[in-house]
Structure 1
Amino acid sequence: MSRDFAATWLKLTSLFIVLLGLIVALGAHPAVSLPATLLADAVFWPFDGAQAIDTQAARVLAAIGGGVMVGWGVMMWLIIDRLLPSDPKLARLMMIEATFAWYLVDSSSSFVSGASVNVLLNTLLLAAIVLPAWRIGAVRVATAG
């Protein structure tokens, strides 16, 4: 995997996270909460319509969680776009360490709450971030010295 391909992949992944965050944030308003409700239903498999984002507490958590995801996606984009060219080791460290921190908290909490499907989805997203991030740092560090 070339550095340019890895960087492009990570930028696309960051856009995916931003879009997913916007979907989650839509759960804050009942009139547009269907996409977030379907997502919640999917991670509590089976897909049966049993989950709903229909309380004030669930709505505010959707707003907060969606906002955090949007911010995380934007930060990833900026790390790859602005920091990677000047400090690839730091960019790689930030991407990998922050992703593992998110993964451990999100996946263990999802498992405890009964949303085991989310652990699988998180594992796919972890791989989509960590594998190319590992590669961009390794390629850049090897050619810099």
Structure 2
Amino acid sequence: MTHSLSASWLKMMSLFIVALGLLVALGAHPTTAWPANMLADIVFWPFDDTQRIDTESARVLAAISGGVMVGWAVMMWLIIDRLMPADPRLARLLLIESTLAWYLVDSTGSFVAGATVNVLLNTVLMLAIVLPAWRIEADAIASTN
């Protein structure tokens, strides 16, 4: 994977995370909660339409977690767009370490909560970020030799 392809892929992942964060944040209001309810139902497999974001506390947590996801994705985009060209090693470190921190906390919590499908989905997303980010340093080393 070339440096350019890694950057493009990581930007696509950040846009995906923005979309996912907005979907989760829609759970903050009952009239817009359907997509977040569906996501909750998927991660608590089987898909049986029984999981709902239907309490005030669940709604505020949807708003908070959706906002955090959007913020994380915007930061990823800025790291890729602005920092990576100037300091690819630091960009790689920030992308990989923050992604692994998210992965460990989110996946552990999901497992404890019984949302094991979310652990699988988290693993796919983590790999979709970490593997191309790992290439950033390899490409930077190759271009300096």
Name the TM-score class by shorter chain: over 0.9
Q: SS of the counterpart of 2:85?
A: coil
Verify the 8 A CA contact 1:45 1:115 in the aligned structure 2. Answer: yes
Which residue of structure 1 lines up, in the alignment, with residue 98 of structure 2? 98
1-side partners of 2:131 and 2:52: how far apart? 34
TM-score after normalising by structure 1 = 0.98
CA RMSD of aligned residues (A): 0.7
2-side partners of 1:69 and 1:8: how far apart? 19
Q: SS of the counterpart of 1:85?
A: helix
Which ranges of 4 or more aligned residues in structure 1 deviate by more than 6 Å? none
2-side partners of 1:144 and 1:86: how far apart? 13
For residues 92-115 of structure 1, the C-alpha deviation after alignment (integer angstroms, 9 at most, x for no partner) is 000000000000000000000000
Q: Which residue identity lines up with residue 69 of structure 1 in the other structure?
A: M
For residues 42-84 of structure 1, the C-alpha deviation after alignment (integer angstroms, 9 at most, x for no partner) is 0000000110000000000000000000001100000000000
Which residue of structure 2 lines up, in the alignment, with residue 86 of structure 1? 86
Which residue of structure 2 lines up, in the alignment, with residue 9 of structure 1? 9
Which residue of structure 1 lines up, in the alignment, with residue 133 of structure 2? 133
* Number of residues of Structure 1 aligned to a counterpart in Structure 2: 145
Percent identity, please: 69
The answer to whether 1:25 aligns with 2:13 is no
1-side partners of 2:18 and 2:136: how far apart? 22
Q: Which residue identity lines up with residue 126 of structure 1 in the other structure?
A: M
TM-score after normalising by structure 2 = 0.98
Which residue of structure 2 lines up, in the alignment, with residue 107 of structure 1? 107
Gaps (5+ residues) in structure 1?
Answer: none
Q: Which residue identity lines up with residue 126 of structure 2 in the other structure?
A: L
